[in-house]
Amino acid sequence: MNRRSPAPFGPEGGTHRRRLLQAIGGLGGLATLPKSWGATGQAFAAASPGEASGEPRLVSIHGSLTEVVYLLEAQHMLVGTDTTSTHPAAASQTPKVGYLRQLSAEGLLSLKPHAVLGTDEAGPPAVLAQLRQAGVPLQLVSVKHRFEDLIEKVKLAGEATRRQSAAQALSADLRKRWQATQQQVARRHAAASGNTGPRVLFIMAHGPAAMLAGTDTGAHAMLSYAGAHNAMTQVQGWRALNAESAVQARPDWIVTTQESVSALGGLPTFWQLPGLALTPAGRQQRVLSFDTMALLGFGPRMPAALQELQQGLS
């Protein structure tokens, strides 16, 4: 049984904000935001006369932060983003400064940013040092693979865009959605009479070699949040996939990214990865694929992605 996460958003227009909010948890939560969101925007405009000529020039080097900036309706402040910033669709059209781990100082400095927003995964270190020497503030969130990472990103983006009130409203909404999802996971776990959950092998195949997720990874954290058992807990970090490790893992399910499936040319080719056909998951063709940033980016789509992961594995 093959399942995929929902397709990316459709065309954007006057309902841009509504579509973005739908992405973080459905229409049910919209009733909590429209009036306060509009009031926040009006209050900000009233408190900042003439800011159109003095708003900050920002570069986002992490897709999750880019998504938050769009939710805060401050996307016009983005003068550049990294290649992981593809959601919403309009973010793909922003000037690109490279992959978040392989940045170019020249490209970044040419955009004359007032600040660079990202995480401590950014690099290489030499480029970050050049930016600091040039006087460009680096505002980086420490990655700890937890829901609180998302809340820290919202706070950072709110301060950088001067949308603190809107950021507080967004954080409150995300917390509400996250708690609801966690309660759902707990109920399903209780209904399963304390079962440890399915064994899951998480595979990333974006580059030349397919990799397996061990502990201390975003994939491990999301599997744990979903009540699943990571089949590679004996490994820390990422390890190259080989037939022996796949077979020994005995996964009930394979979880991967849509980008991995696409890079390999589709699911038939994906199942040809070493050892997968010999696993319980392979024999039953059990795979779930997700948008990478939605599942592993710890951004505003995190509650919705966790809900879908948990439901898919149940």
Task: Give the tens place of pLDDT for each residue, 170-187.
Answer: 999 999 999 999 998 888
Give the pLDDT score at 48: 35
Is the pLDDT confidence value at 272 over 50?
yes
Is the pLDDT confidence value at 144 over 60?
yes
Give the pLDDT score at 138: 97
**Contact predicate 83/62, CB 8 Å:** no
CA angle 208, 299, 124 (to 5 degrees): 50
Give the pLDDT score at 29: 37
Section 83-96 average pLDDT: 96
**Contact predicate 206/257, CB 8 Å:** yes
| Residues whose CB falls within 8 Å of the CB of residue 121, separated by 6 or more in sequence, listed in order | 62, 100, 101, 143
What is the Cα–Cα distance from 133 to 114, expressed in whole angstroms? Answer: 14
Q: With cut-offs at 50, 70 and 90, classify the pLDDT of residue 191.
A: confident
CA distances 162 to 36, 116, 154, 183, 194, Å, are 16, 15, 12, 33, 46
* Residue that wins the pLDDT comparison between 10 and 244: 244
What is the Cα–Cα distance from 185 to 177, expressed in whole angstroms? Answer: 13
Give the pLDDT score at 37: 34
Q: With cut-offs at 50, 70 and 90, classify the pLDDT of residue 234.
A: very high
Section 83-107 average pLDDT: 96
Q: Which of 7-21, 28-42, 168-182 has the lowest mean pLDDT?
A: 28-42
Give the pLDDT score at 193: 61
Percent of the chain with pLDDT over 90: 77
Is the pLDDT confidence value at 27 over 60?
no
Q: State the CB neighbour count (10 A cutoff) for residue 19.
A: 15
* Residue that wins the pLDDT comparison between 190 and 132: 132
Section 253-269 average pLDDT: 97
Domains in the chain with CATH codes: 11-172 (3.40.50.1980), 196-313 (3.40.50.1980)
Is the pLDDT confidence value at 60 over 80?
yes
What is the Cα–Cα distance from 215 to 234, expressed in whole angstroms? Answer: 8
> Which residue, 170, 153, 156, is CA-closest to 72?
170
Give the pLDDT score at 50: 32
* Separate counts of helices (H) and strands (E) for the chain: 14, 11
What is the Cα–Cα distance from 269 to 150, expressed in whole angstroms? Answer: 34
For 25, the token pair is: 């948890």
> Which residue, 206, 207, 222, 203, is CA-closest to 299?
222
Q: With cut-offs at 50, 70 and 90, classify the pLDDT of residue 53.
A: low
Is the pLDDT confidence value at 44 over 90?
no
Q: State the CB neighbour count (10 A cutoff) for residue 141.
A: 24
What is the Cα–Cα distance from 309 to 219, expressed in whole angstroms? Answer: 11
